[in-house]
């Protein structure tokens, strides 16, 4: 029985370790993607803006309508930036959602669901919680002979 208990504990520990490793890799990948997106947005915005500004300056010298051209170019540049920022924000939101899903899976990996358990007799939430914990301790320690302590129950 101790051997089975040890196997169960080792299996749960291995699942937790695998999930933690997976969550860490997803978080690193997410951070890497966010950094890449930021670099792409910054580099595209800066290069485009500088190129357009140089082009406008040389055109202005020959044509003389500096203020109106600068205004239109800046407006076009800002519109382009809005779409790039929107795309980057969408990617960041998508990555955040994936991270939340993975964390939720990690939090539920060692849950045990028990059916047909007698309901607690009291209506007080704290008392019901205490009775449920006591039932689980008796079930695991005395019936299943899997040694646990109250701190193991979350």
pLDDT, tens only, 72-115: 777 777 677 777 777 888 888 899 999 999 888 887 787 788 88
**Per-residue pLDDT at 64 exceeds 60:** no
Provide the residue ranges of all domains of the chain, joining segments of one domain with +. Answer: 2-110, 112-154
**Per-residue pLDDT at 130 exceeds 80:** yes
- The string of DSSP letters for 72-124 reads HHHHHHHHHHHHHHHHHHHHHHHHHHHHHHHHHHHHHTT-----SPPPPS---
**pTM greater than 0.85 (yes/no):** no
Residue with tokens 């039932």: 135
């Amino acid at each position: 029985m101790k051997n089975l208990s040890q196997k169960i504990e080792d299996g749960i520990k291995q699942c937790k370790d695998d999930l933690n490793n997976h969550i860490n890799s997803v978080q690193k990948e997410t951070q890497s993607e966010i950094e890449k997106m930021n670099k792409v947005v910054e580099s595209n915005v800066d290069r485009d803006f500088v190129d357009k500004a140089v082009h406008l300056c040389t055109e202005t010298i020959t044509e003389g309508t500096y203020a109106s051209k600068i205004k239109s170019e800046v407006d076009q540049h800002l519109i382009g930036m809005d779409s790039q920022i929107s795309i980057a924000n969408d990617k960041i939101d998508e990555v955040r959602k994936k991270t939340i899903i993975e964390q939720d899976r990690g939090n539920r990996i060692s849950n045990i669901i028990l059916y047909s358990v007698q309901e607690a007799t009291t209506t007080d939430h704290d008392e019901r919680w205490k009775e449920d914990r006591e039932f689980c301790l008796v079930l695991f320690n005395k019936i299943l002979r899997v040694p646990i302590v109250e701190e193991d129950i979350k």
